[in-house]
Amino acid sequence: MSVHELEVTPLPEVESEVAKARAAFDAGRTRTIAWRKATLRALRERVRTREADLLAALREDLGKPTFEAWATEIGFTIADIDQTCAALDSWAAPQRVATPMAFQPGASHLHYEPLGVVAVIAPWNYPMQLLLLPAIAAIAAGNAVVMKPSELAPSTDRVLGEIVRSLNDPAVTIVHGGVAETTELLKQRFDHIVYTGNSRVARVVMRAAAEHLTPVTLELGGKSPAIVSRNANIDIAAKRIAWGKFLNAGQTCIAPDYVLVESSVHDALVAKLNEQITAFYGTDPKQSTDYGRIVNEAHFHRLEKLLHCGTLAAGGDTDVDGRYISPTILTNITRDDPPMHEEIFGPVLPIIAIDDLDAAIEFVNEDEKPLALYVFSEDDAETENIIARSTSGGACINGTILHVSNPNLPFGGVGESGMGAYHGKFGFEALSHRRAVHSRSTKIDPPLLYPPYTKGKEKLMRKGLLMADPRDAARNIFAALRARLRH
């Protein structure tokens, strides 16, 4: 259990923090690229300075091994700041686009403008990066930001609060608490809300956002399948599934939730998964410094109930005081069994044997659209077929988790697993307004659009030339002339 008491922001202060952020945005300070970069660099410096405290807090809240805490939280955040600062000038620069012939002479540009005040509401499983990455995108886009970390990771919540307050900038602020404080926060007017968490609360967030017509990005979860073909490299599949599943003790939104495996390789896969668990965490994972813990007792008891389903093929050991559940594999599971009723979000991996890959695709498509989908096969046609006939927020072939670590790919769900996406430039764009700016010359004013509407103008319009990109229009005119000359 965490040694820290939960931080709670008094309700009137929730409103005043948002008001301060709004005033800072309205003053125009956050719009400059200089402020955005300076703020991101200051945040980076504070994260580095408090690295030891963050590592300790993540260990207290979730038993995170140092390597995992660095790779998935601290290092991930620092890399995001570095990539963002390096690319910001080009992301924020106006982009020129073509202007139709009828509007010449003129120029058209896309301007990326800040939206205003962005709220970021984060969950407990990656309590640092899921709070700071959306905030980094918000700052990069020139917004003020109000952050709300998860009350279920109280030690990390506390250190993050100290880090954010040490910036001493009303445009970058943080409030703490649970349902009451978040409810109060959601009464305020924002220009965008990024919520990461479960789909039940997402509906609460979206209803509150509707009150102010505030757009939302919802980063949710669900049951992400791993499909293993008889043509898979079973050694590699077992290693990468076990790694993705038992990272952070299974409390990862994109962890493989369950495995669908072709019957002929079912036993081989289960045996290799077993071997892999031992290779990663030894014969007693409780003693391993590389294995995490369940966030709290409520989640521990929820997961413990699943251990009695199907056949226990690995693990099943528990210790409520240490919030420990060993890496567990369940076989002989059907869709009707409790582990398949909701997202597992813990170190319990059901394996379901299927006749063939068509049956796997059907199985996946009968459920809600998942956040991630994993395919293991050495046969490209097979992989392409699965990707083409299914959907998910993101997908990884012959791997797990890593598709979200590439800043050049968007991270987000689809349908029940979420709406909108961020990471890298996608986050900058999601939290910017793309303003259309067309500027016209007054030196000449061609009569193409104005009355009187002559037959000649109508002919140009009917040929689609007025609205065409001038280069296309010129190409079309030359093609027509060439055709006429040939006859």
Residues designated catalytic = 219, 253
Least distance (Å) from ligand NAD to the CB of residue 76? 12
Q: Which residue has the tokens 């970390």?
A: 149
H or E element: which one contains 19?
helix 11-26
Of 416, 419, 405, nearest to 223 by C-alpha is 416
Q: Per rule CB under 6 A, is residue 121 in the interface with ligand NAD?
A: yes
Q: Which stretch binds ligand NAD (CB under 6 A): 100-108, 119-127, 285-293, 313-321?
A: 119-127
- Lay out the site mask for ligand NAD across 415-444 (x = CB under 6 A, - = otherwise): ---x--------------------------
Burial class (CB in 10 A: 0-12, 13-18, 19+), 459: exposed
CB of 388 to ligand NAD, least distance (A): 24
| Residue range at the interface with ligand NAD (CB under 6 A); choices 12-20, 35-43, 196-204, 324-332 | 196-204
Count of residues near ligand NAD by CB under 6 A: 28
Give the type of residue at 95. Q
* Residue among 24, 54, 74, 122 that touches ligand NAD (CB under 6 A): 122
201 in contact with ligand NAD (CB under 6 A): yes
**Which one of 72, 77, 150, 400 is in contact with ligand NAD (CB under 6 A)?**
150
* Of 404, 405, 406, 410, the residue nearest 425 (C-alpha): 410
Residue placing its CB nearer to ligand NAD in the complex, 197 or 315: 197
- Count Cβ atoms below 10 Å from residue 49 Cβ, excluding itself: 12
Based on CB atoms, which residue is closest to ligand NAD, 71 or 107?
A: 71
- Closest approach of ligand NAD to the CB of residue 216, in Å: 13
User: Smallest distance from the beta carbon of 302 to ligand NAD, in angstroms?
Assistant: 11
Q: Is 367 in the site for ligand NAD (CB under 6 A)?
A: no
Is residue 244 within the footprint of ligand NAD (CB under 6 A)?
A: no
Which residue, 142 or 225, has its beta carbon nearer to ligand NAD? 225
Q: Which contacts qualify for 92-95: CB closer than 8 Å, 24 or more apart? A: 92/33, 92/142, 92/428, 94/437
Strands (E), 81-155: 95-97, 106-114, 117-121, 144-148
Question: In angstroms, how far is CA 281 from the centroid of its own chain?
Answer: 28
Whose Cβ is closer to ligand NAD: residue 15's or residue 45's? 15
Q: Could you say whether residue 154 binds ligand NAD (CB under 6 A)?
A: no
Q: Based on CB atoms, which residue is closest to ligand NAD, 151 or 382?
A: 151
11-40: which residues touch ligand NAD (CB under 6 A)?
none
Residues 246-305 touching ligand NAD, rule: CB under 6 A, are 253
Whole-number CA gyration radius for the chain: 27
**Cβ neighbours for 170, distance < 8 A, ≥ 6 positions apart:** 20, 21, 23, 24, 144
Closest to ligand NAD by CB, 129 vs 383, is: 129
Using the rule CB under 6 A, which residue among 59, 148, 403, 425 binds ligand NAD? 148
For residue 374, which of 240, 277, 230 has the smallest C-alpha distance? 240
Give residue number: closest CB to ligand NAD: 221
Return the number of other C-beta atoms located less than 10 Å from residue 414's C-beta: 18
* Cα 330 to chain centroid, rounded: 29
Distance CA 252, CA 296 (A): 15
Q: Is residue 61 near ligand NAD by the rule CB under 6 A?
A: no
The residue from 24, 58, 92, 130 that contacts ligand NAD (CB under 6 A) is: 130
Does position 198 interact with ligand NAD (CB under 6 A)? The reply is: yes
**How far is Cα 394 from Cα 224, in angstroms, rounded to an integer?**
10
The whole-angstrom separation of Cα 133 and Cα 120 is: 10
Applying CB under 6 A, the residues found at the interface with ligand NAD are 121-125, 130, 148, 150-152, 178-179, 182-183, 196-198, 201, 204, 219-221, 253, 343, 345, 371, 413, 418
